[in-house]
Amino acid sequence: MKLLVAALLLPPAARRAPPPRAASPPPPPPPRPADVARALNAHLPPDDPIHNATLFLSSAEVSFPDGAAASARGFCATYLPLAATRSHSRALLLLAPAPPASLRPLTERLALGCECVALLPTLDGPPARWTHATLAAEALAASRHLLRAHGVSHLGVLAFGAACQPALELLADGGIEAHAAVLLCPHALRGAARAARALELPLLAVCTRADDAAELREGLQLNARLGGDFFVAEFAGCADEFALAPRDEAAREQAERAFALMQAWFDRHVPEV
């Protein structure tokens, strides 16, 4: 009893404080349905359909007549498990020079990895002949189709190769409305620093050329509106199409790294709601 009274008479600082509670680790991200299905059926032979990614996708040529667009057609990949229960709230729009056949595997992989809808419009003619009005009209027609057909409200844009220059300028001018963008293998950019300074949406650039990376980084670092919400990844020594058709094991590893960056970027800035 005397010990208890003496302890109570001690100043607060002298009393033994309870040990601090360890912070709980953040919960792991939920597994993706496609990964769960494959894990549960890992005992099945490799040629079983459950291991085929296309089991979770619906891919088809689509047309979306629109008075503002000349072509209004393209290739669309849809993640099926989510589409079966509710409408998709996000989609990815891929802009690339014709012919776009080489980008179809990437379109499907993005739809599968991000569990969303990915649309690759057919853009006629070389990018050098695209006007801002033409590209904006094609992007608007594609966006309207995604809204009507899938209920999409959030959009991410990926531009590849020579399409990066006009896409960047349109994004900076507000000619294409999106929540985030990726420039994949831009080359021979002109005035990219100026356009990057005017951007108002998060940008990831996957560059194979040091001069393009430097110009983009210069403009993005001067863009106070982004608050550092950008990333320029350099893949020095890689071919311009390494992410689409890797030629060897080293290129395949780099392509996997580039895809992981793109998927994480869209998952962060164009979330499913």
Segment among 96-105, 231-240, 251-260 with least mean pLDDT: 96-105
Which residues fall within 8 angstroms of residue 75, CB to CB, at 6 or more apart? 59, 60, 61, 62, 100, 104, 107, 119, 120, 122
Query: Which pLDDT belongs to residue 45?
Result: 55
% of the chain beyond a pLDDT of 90: 54
Q: Is residue 69 within 8 Å of residue 130, measured between CB atoms?
A: no
Instruction: Please state, in angstroms and as integers, the Cα–Cα distance from residue 31 to each residue in 50, 145, 167, 186, 224, following that order.
Output: 16, 30, 33, 33, 36
Residue 268 pLDDT > 80: yes
Query: Which pLDDT belongs to residue 37?
Result: 47
Residue 236 tokens read as 């020095």
Q: What is the chain's Cα-based Rg?
A: 24
Query: Which pLDDT belongs to residue 241?
Result: 87
Which residues fall within 8 angstroms of residue 201, CB to CB, at 6 or more apart? 171, 178, 179, 180, 181, 269
Strand (E) or helix (H) holding 78: strand 73-79
Average pLDDT estimate for 135-162:
92
Query: Which pLDDT belongs to residue 17?
Result: 44
Query: Which pLDDT belongs to residue 23?
Result: 40
Q: pLDDT digit string (tens) for 214-223? A: 999 999 999 9
Query: Which pLDDT belongs to residue 90?
Result: 94
Average pLDDT estimate for 104-114:
92
HEC profile of 204-262: EEEECCHHHHHHHHHHHHCCCCCCCCEEEEECCCCCCCCCCCCCCHHHHHHHHHHHHHH
Q: Which residues of 115-148 are buried (b: 16+ CB within 10 A; e: fewer)?
A: bbbbbbbbbeeebeebeeebbbbbbbbbbbbbee
Degrees to nearest 5, angle at CA 156 with 85 and 228: 130
Residue 98 pLDDT > 90: no
Which band of pLDDT confidence, cut at 50, 70 and 90, is reported for residue 174?
A: very high
Query: Which pLDDT belongs to residue 32?
Result: 53
Query: Chain-wide mean pLDDT for the chain?
Result: 82
% of the chain beyond a pLDDT of 70: 76
Distance CA 90, CA 108 (A): 15
Percentages helix, strand, coil for the chain (3-state, rounded to 5) are 45, 15, 40
Query: Which pLDDT belongs to residue 8?
Result: 41
Nearest to 91 by CA among 178, 206, 186: 178
Q: pLDDT digit string (tens) for 228-255? A: 899 999 999 899 889 998 889 999 999 9
